[in-house]
Amino acid sequence: MRTLKKIRECLQDLACPIKAMSLQRFFKTGGESDKFLGITVPEQRQLAKTYRELSDNNLKILLASPLHEERLTALLILVLQYKKADALRQKQIYNFYFANITGINNWDLVDLSAPYIVGLYLLDKDKKFLHKLITAKNLWKRRIAIVATWQFIRNNDFKETLALAEKTLSDKEDLIHKANGWMLREVGKRDFATLDNFLRKHYQNMPRTMLRYAIEKYPEKLRLAYLHGKV
């Protein structure tokens, strides 16, 4: 517990009330209001490196914290541990991640962890679980499913990204539209034809935010054609 006390003391030493107020406004999303200390991600990454050997019991305590930075630092530690772990430990981290999923409840917490734990773990495994996760009522579980596919995209496997995007075309949450658009844009960076075929099929029924994110890197003329419905 001494190590847990030390990492919490370090976080308190790094706290900045002015930044905390700004982050409080910036991250008020999904109907939830988080509590912030006002610490930058690079500072938390450095702290995660220092305490990368933190035990699961202590990580669990941090993930249950009301403080955003305590939860994010715990997730950054898990990402570092996963990177160096053998297959057995990777499976343990993956299971631990979902056992403590209630603490992964903001978009940055998802985006800085899901691709590097969930995505990497499922890279060479059955991906049916993501299709179950995408039907969850919880916004963050759905975002985890989508953002995790970034690892598949990096390996030129676009199937799950496209399937999950198609399943959530009518999702009510803007943060899901943004996640879908982001992942579709990543597909387009590697395979323009695959993205364009998907967009031509769905763009008229696609949330505007999702479309804008997906075509962000498109040539200007084609981008405007999509936005004006003249493709």
Quick: pLDDT tens for 49-95: 999 999 999 999 999 999 999 999 999 999 999 999 999 999 999 99
- Burial (Cβ within 10 Å: 0-12, 13-18, ≥19) of residue 172: exposed
User: Residue 2: pLDDT above 80?
Assistant: no
Q: What is residue 33's predicted lDDT score, i.e. its pLDDT?
A: 64
Q: What is residue 28's predicted lDDT score, i.e. its pLDDT?
A: 62
Ranges of beta strands (E only) in the chain are none
Mean of per-residue pLDDT scores for the chain: 94
Contacts of 50 (CB under 8 A, 6+ apart): 10
Contacts of 210 (CB under 8 A, 6+ apart): 165, 169, 177, 178, 180, 181, 184
φ and ψ at 166, to 5 degrees?
A: -65, -40
All domains of the chain in start order, with CATH: 1-105 (1.25.10.90), 113-231 (1.25.10.90)
The pTM assigned to this predicted structure is 0.94
Fill in the DSSP letter of residue 67: B
User: Residue 36: pLDDT above 60?
Assistant: yes
| Residue-wise DSSP of 198-210 | HHHHHGGGS-HHH
